[in-house]
Amino acid sequence: METADLRTSTGNVKVRPTTARKRAAKAAANAGEPTLEHTGRVPYDTYVHASTLHSLQRTLSDDPGEMSFLMVSQIMELYFGLTCFELREAQRLLRADDVWTALRPLRRAALHLEGLNAAWHGLRWMTPGDFNRFRDLLGEGSGFQSAMYRQLEFLLGLRTAALVRPFRRQPETYAALRRTLAAPSLWDDVLHLLARRGFDLPAGLLHRDFAVEHQPGPEVESAWVEIYADDGPDNQLRLLGEALTEVAEQFGDWRYRHLQAVQRTMGAKAGSGGSAGAAWLQRSMARVVFPELWSARTAM
């Protein structure tokens, strides 16, 4: 569904728009009390689909702790999707050379990631014994298999082509992941922006197979050192660097909290999806988002 449609319709039921004048008239007619009678479905539910959302928690066991595990997982999926939406908007604006406006979705993305990180608190009660009460019923289900998380990684520049393979029998999901993998990441768009702003970056960094993960280059690092040397209020590229840093930092926090949660509930056991569990997560954390933005700080 297109973004514009989300503002006016939810399926077959239209959200009825109103105006400030109509709202004031309604409040006056209600003597300041909320409206309690509606001609059809409650407008809030028409827009948010809360009743649908609350029907999606279908646990596999009778253990009450499983509800926390399932719902927190679903909340994280929503945050993955929301963050991807913001990063794509930032990409669109950067491609149009509108750095100032691109700061807005990047700032929102960082805050969404902060909310995503907070979701881990809902599972801090879980011990290995708590998890083991329902873990076997999950079969081979694993967070590793989250297509939206994979979209998020790809958008941030963490690219491993083989990781789309689990989705080959889900044609729409597989095709969407392949499209993102073949397109420039957010970091690639930043590099193209820097080149358009006069920084001398190698053609090999700008025109390459985007499905292959970006390899850090000294020219990009030098560009950021030069950008940060100008601390004037009109230096939009420096503001861009800080917005990207916040996104990378929050995403790094999520990866670390994920590792902590696995260690808390599983120790060094094998993962449900066939991986080595915590050991696999530790290795994956070595891949850095926006690498030259971090390495440049040594030379600043």
* Percent above pLDDT 90 for the chain: 72
**Helix 186-196 and helix 65-95: axis angle, to 10°?**
20
- Is 121 within any annotated ligand binding site? no
Residue 85: Cβ within 10 Å count = 15
> With contact defined as beta carbons under 8 Å apart, do 157 and 185 qualify?
yes
pLDDT for position 5: 37
- Per-residue confidence band for 2, with pLDDT thresholds at 50, 70 and 90: very low
- Per-residue confidence band for 273, with pLDDT thresholds at 50, 70 and 90: low
* Distances in whole angstroms, Cα of residue 117 to Cα of each of 54, 63, 123, 253, 255: 22, 25, 11, 7, 9
pLDDT above 60 for 291:
yes
Residues 6+ apart with CB under 8 A from 53: none
pLDDT above 50 for 4:
no
Helix or strand holding residue 10 (H, E): strand 9-10
Helix or strand holding residue 14 (H, E): strand 13-14
**Helix 65-95 and helix 147-156: axis angle, to 10°?**
30
Instruction: Tell me the β-bridge partners of 10.
Output: 13
Taking the C-alpha atoms of residue 189 and residue 95, their distance in angstroms, rounded to an integer, is: 7
**Alpha helices in 96-136, H assignment, sequence order:** 99-118, 128-132
Chain segment 68-127, per-residue pLDDT in tens: 999 999 999 999 999 999 999 999 999 999 999 999 999 999 999 999 999 999 999 999
pLDDT for position 130: 94
pLDDT above 70 for 280:
no
Mean pLDDT for 262-289 is 77
pLDDT above 50 for 179:
yes
More confident position, 254 or 286? 254
Name the segment(s) of the chain with CATH classification 1.20.58.480.
Answer: 68-299
Phi first, then psi, for residue 172 (nearest 5°) are -65, -45
Chain segment 133-172, per-residue pLDDT in tens: 999 999 888 777 899 999 999 999 999 999 999 999 999 9
Task: Spell 33-72 as b/e; 16+ CB within 10 A means b.
Answer: eeeeeeeeeeeeebbeeeeeeeeeeeeeeeeebbeebbbb
More confident position, 5 or 85? 85
pTM of the model: 0.91
First to last CA, the chain: 45
pLDDT for position 1: 33
54: which 2 tokens? 């609350």
pLDDT above 80 for 281:
no
pLDDT for position 7: 42
Instruction: Tell me the β-bridge partners of 129.
Output: none
Chain segment 222-266, per-residue pLDDT in tens: 999 999 999 988 999 999 999 999 999 999 999 999 888 888 888
- Is 135 within any annotated ligand binding site? yes
pLDDT for position 289: 96
Q: Which CATH class is domain 68-299?
A: mainly alpha
